[in-house]
Amino acid sequence: MSDIAIGGVGRRNYLNDSHSIRSWLLTTDHKRIAILYAISITIFFLIGGAAISLVRLELLTPNGMFLSDDSYNKLFTIHGVIMVWFFLIPSIPNTLGNFLLPLMIGASDVAFPRLNLLSWYLNITGGLFTVAALVGGGVDAGWTFYTPFSTEFSHGAIALAAIGVFISGFSSIATGVNFIATIHMLRMPGVTWFRLPLFVWSLYATSMMFVLATPVLAVTLLLLVIERLFHLPLFDPDYGGDPLLFQHLFWFYSHPAVYIMVLPSMGVITEVITCFARRRVFGYAFMVYALVSIAGIGFFVWGHHMFVSGQSPLASLIFSFLSFVVAVPSAIKVFNWTATLYRGQISFEAPMIYALGFVGLFTVGGLTGLFLASIPVDIHVHDTYFVVAHFHYIMVGGAVSAFFAGLHFWWPKITGRLYSESWARFAAILMFFGFNFTFFPQFVMGYAGMPRRYHVYPPEFQVYHVMSTIGATVLAAAYLLPPVYLGWSLWRGRRAGDNPWGASGLEWQTNSPPPPKNFVRRPEAPDQPYDYHPAGQAPRADERSPRRAANAAADR
């Protein structure tokens, strides 16, 4: 019965193993937990996306059309809160990471499977509190919750939203503990540290940040709630408190948070680029050092969000300098991805289109980050659309592209089905154009002075806002395509073989979809992580590509 929908014919896999709701909601199988997360992040993505669609519509005219100032503030806030904590942060680590980590190291599950399930429940409980805040009055303080507006003057359901995010933080910490223990203790013999796929390294670096940064967010939100609900002053200047204390605590977490969002993306990109260029990654060791350096140095740059807040010039200088330093390992990664392409046999399947898009868009985002790290420039563009464009280039152009790259790359492994390559390529290209049309005008208008979070704006910026909204419409259409053709593939897609891409990695040595305990036959640990040819051994043009051969085999 179940074989009609998914899974290899007659083969027992993690999807058809049992069908009850109970077996899904009480599962400890990391693969099923990954699917649970995939469903919840999709719902949150739709909520956050709906909010910003209303905002972009409203911004078509300089004086607003159908929203009050309050409603406008609540919509952009909820967009930020949901997208950061309930979509971006869990997206790659908890869906792709959960599914693939044990497979990539040859293990049968993560170190603490029940804790993994608890992570998901904490995440959706936090999400429910946050959505309750949305419905129960809305939150209008921005996703940054700055005091004293959030503690004293806002009339929104701030405490409820803060509690929701607080709860979801424990989900992150639990995931971090789980992944770190898994990588240290469950690698099968032969899988040494410097043979790990870079996706695993990226999850390791991300998990370190989960564990070390998230607790500080918990404290920040807790103190915010204490001051707001119980009127116990800590940040209130009337009693000698300091709003900058809130900002220091908030950004100590929130800057590493952006690396939490982007490092797993970088891991995915390396997996995809190496496969579709048929090349070993260039400079594996430096790629590892870069990941770990970004994670580490990323803890020391948070003050670059506070250049105009009243922070001391000396502290600002130090944070500015360190922000330049942290760009270096990111740049190393971009160079190495580019060098990986050299003398490769590049093909443009959908994952590769997303991955190449990532490299370009992340570079733009990263460069504009350097502009912002420079104090004089930041003073000019702080709190303008320049900043908004910068972080969307990284978060959407980068992280979301990488998520889609990974989703398509591993779709055959996760579902046992092949999606329609033509529709996927079309969606990827549409997304690239829609994205740039949405966000590039924002760089221009931000530099010209358009402030962020403004409901009403001077009419000279209308042309940019209209371009941005048109781009957003195209982008939205591009986002709505994958659910359609991916969903279709679950019903009618061709069955995938074990390794439709001819990719290297232990996850490709098991069935698609994998059996409940991951491996039927013990996989063979390779003696190097990317089993593709090095530059000096690129096959000639007339030689058959191994991947095409593998594809042909899967078709039979």
Partner 1 sequence: MSEDPKGARAAAHERRLTRALLAAWWSNLAIWAALLALLFTSLGLAYAPLGRWTLVVGLAIAAIKAALVAWFFMQINRATALIRLTALMAFVFVAALFTFTFTDIATRF
Partner 2 sequence: MSDQTPALREPWDALAKQREAATFGIWVFLASELLFFGAIFLVYAYLRALHSTAFEQASSHTSVFYGTLNTAVLLTSSMTMVLAARAADIKVKAAVVVCLSLTAACGLIFLVVKGFEYKQDIDDGLLPGDHFALAAAAAKMFFSFYWGITVVHAVHLSIGIVAVLRLALDVYRDRLPLRSPQYEVTALYWHLVDIIWIILYPLLYLGGRSS
Q: How far is the CB of 228 from partner 2 (least distance, A)?
A: 12
Between 179 and 437, CB nearer to partner 2? 179
Residue 240 contacts partner 1 per CB under 8 A: no
Degrees to nearest 5, angle at CA 211 with 206 and 216? 115
Residue 319 contacts partner 1 per CB under 8 A: yes
Tokens coding 150: 């959030």
Residue 459 contacts partner 1 per CB under 8 A: no
Q: Dihedral through CA 219, CA 223, CA 229, CA 231, nearest 10? A: 160
Please say whether the dihedral angle defined by the alpha carbons of residues 221, 223, 225 and 228, taken in this order, is positive or negative: negative
Between 212 and 490, CB nearer to partner 1? 212
Yes or no: say if 232 and 311 are a contact pair by the CB < 8 Å rule.
no
Q: Taking CB within 5 to 8 Å according to partner kind, which of partner 2, partner 1, none is near residue 113? A: partner 2
Contact residues: partner 2, CB under 8 A? 28, 102, 107-113, 173, 176-178, 180-181, 184-186, 211-216, 218-220, 222-223, 226-227, 230-234, 238-242, 245, 248-249, 252
Residue 1 contacts partner 1 per CB under 8 A: no
Exactly one of 314, 376, 527, 540 binds partner 1 (CB under 8 A); that residue is 314
Between 221 and 350, CB nearer to partner 2? 221
Exactly one of 96, 162, 198, 216 binds partner 1 (CB under 8 A); that residue is 216
**Any idea what DSSP says for residue 495?**
B
3-class SS string, 352-377: HHHHHHHHHHHHHHHHHHHHHHCHHH
Q: Taking CB within 5 to 8 Å according to partner kind, which of partner 1, partner 2, none is near residue 542? A: none
Q: Taking CB within 5 to 8 Å according to partner kind, which of partner 1, partner 2, none is near residue 62? A: none
Burial 167-203 (b: 16+ CB within 10 A, else e): bbbbbbbbbbbbbbebbeebbeeebeeebbbbbbbbb
Q: Taking CB within 5 to 8 Å according to partner kind, which of partner 1, partner 2, none is near residue 28? A: partner 2
Integer Rg of the chain from CA: 23
Q: Taking CB within 5 to 8 Å according to partner kind, which of partner 1, partner 2, none is near residue 186? A: partner 2
Q: Taking CB within 5 to 8 Å according to partner kind, which of partner 1, partner 2, none is near residue 58? A: none
Exactly one of 112, 286, 300, 454 binds partner 1 (CB under 8 A); that residue is 300
Degrees to nearest 5, angle at CA 403 with 402 and 404? 90
Helix and strand counts by DSSP (H, E) for the chain = 19, 0
HSE on the CB side for 410, CA within 13 Å? 31
Exactly one of 68, 312, 338, 422 binds partner 1 (CB under 8 A); that residue is 312
Helix (H, G, I), strand (E, B) or coil at 429: helix
Q: How far is the CB of 251 from partner 2 (least distance, A)?
A: 12
- Cβ burial, residue 510 (10 Å; 0-12/13-18/19+): buried
Q: Taking CB within 5 to 8 Å according to partner kind, which of partner 1, partner 2, none is near residue 299? A: partner 1
Scanning the structure block, which residue is given the tokens 């330049």?
A: 324
Rounded Cα gap, residues 250 and 59, in angstroms? 29
Q: Taking CB within 5 to 8 Å according to partner kind, which of partner 2, partner 1, none is near residue 310? A: partner 1
Name the segment binding partner 1 (CB under 8 A); options: 165-173, 275-283, 311-319, 413-421: 311-319
Spatial neighbors of 408 by CB under 8 A, at least 6 apart, are 349, 350, 351, 354, 419, 424
Exactly one of 54, 132, 244, 346 binds partner 1 (CB under 8 A); that residue is 244
Residue 252 contacts partner 1 per CB under 8 A: yes
Between 28 and 311, CB nearer to partner 2? 28
Residue 184 contacts partner 1 per CB under 8 A: yes
Yes or no: say if 339 and 284 are a contact pair by the CB < 8 Å rule.
no
Residue 204 contacts partner 1 per CB under 8 A: no
Q: How far is the CB of 177 from partner 1 (least distance, A)?
A: 10
Q: Taking CB within 5 to 8 Å according to partner kind, which of partner 2, partner 1, none is near residue 60? A: none
Phi-psi sector, 453: left (phi>0), alpha (psi -120 to 50), beta: left
Q: How far is the CB of 98 from partner 2 (least distance, A)?
A: 14
> At 41, which amino acid appears?
I
Residue 212 contacts partner 1 per CB under 8 A: yes
**Any idea what DSSP says for residue 61?**
S
Residues making contact with partner 1 (CB under 8 A): 184, 208, 212, 216, 242, 244, 248, 252, 299-300, 302-303, 310-315, 318-319
